[in-house]
C-alpha cells in the first residue's frame, strides 16, 4: 500500500465570512469550519491542462469524506500550512468520498 492510499493527512476546511473591521467596513475573512482526515490524490493530466486553459495552476488534489464537505459553504482549505482555494470538486472512485481540486491563493493573486 503506497502512502497515497492511506488517510494519513489532515486539512482544515474553511468558509468565507464577512466581518466588520475597526472602521466598521465589511471585510471577507476565512473561518475554519472543521478539521478532517484526507489523502493526497495525484493531479491528473487532463485536470492540469483544463485548469491551465483558464489561467489556473492546480497545486493539489485532496480526497475527503463526502459527509465532511458542503460545497455550498466550504470555499477554501488549509493543508501543509498553506491556504488554498477549492477550484472544483468531483466524486471520487469511492462513492463516500469527494476529490477537491485546489489552487494556491498566492498563485491565484498573480493571475488577476
Render pLDDT for 10-24 as a digit per residue (tens, 0 to 9): 999 999 999 988 888
In terms of average pLDDT, the best of 2-16, 60-74, 97-111 is 60-74
Q: Which of 92, 90, 89, 86 is nearest to 104 (CA)?
A: 86
Specify the higher pLDDT residue, 24 or 104: 24
Using CA atoms, how far apart are residues 3 and 24, in angstroms rounded to an integer? 47
Residue 70 belongs to domain with CATH number: 2.40.10.270
Which segment of 18-27, 56-65, 81-90, 103-112 scores lowest on mean pLDDT?
103-112
* 35-60 per-position pLDDT tens digit: 999 998 877 666 665 665 566 667 78
Residue with cell string 493539489: 60
Global pTM value: 0.78
Supply the range of the domain harboring residue 27.
Answer: 3-111
Confidence of residue 5 (pLDDT cuts 50, 70, 90): low
Number of folded domains that form the chain: 1
DSSP state of 5: G
Q: How far is CA 45 from the centre of its chain?
A: 18
Instruction: Check residue 36 and give its pLDDT.
Output: 96
Burial class, 78, CB count within 10 angstroms (exposed 0-12 / middle 13-18 / buried 19+): middle
Amino acid at each position: 500500500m503506497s502512502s497515497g492510499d492511506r488517510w494519513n493527512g489532515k486539512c482544515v476546511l474553511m468558509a468565507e465570512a464577512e466581518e466588520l473591521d475597526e472602521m466598521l467596513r465589511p471585510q471577507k475573512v476565512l473561518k475554519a469550519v472543521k478539521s478532517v482526515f484526507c489523502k493526497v490524490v495525484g493531479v491528473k493530466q487532463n485536470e492540469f491542462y483544463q485548469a491551465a486553459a483558464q489561467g489556473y495552476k492546480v497545486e493539489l488534489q485532496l480526497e475527503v469524506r463526502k459527509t465532511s464537505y458542503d460545497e455550498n459553504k466550504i470555499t477554501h482549505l488549509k493543508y501543509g500550512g498553506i491556504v488554498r482555494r477549492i477550484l472544483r470538486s468531483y466524486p471520487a472512485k469511492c462513492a463516500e468520498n469527494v476529490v477537491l481540486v485546489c489552487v494556491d491563493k498566492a498563485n491565484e493573486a498573480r493571475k488577476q
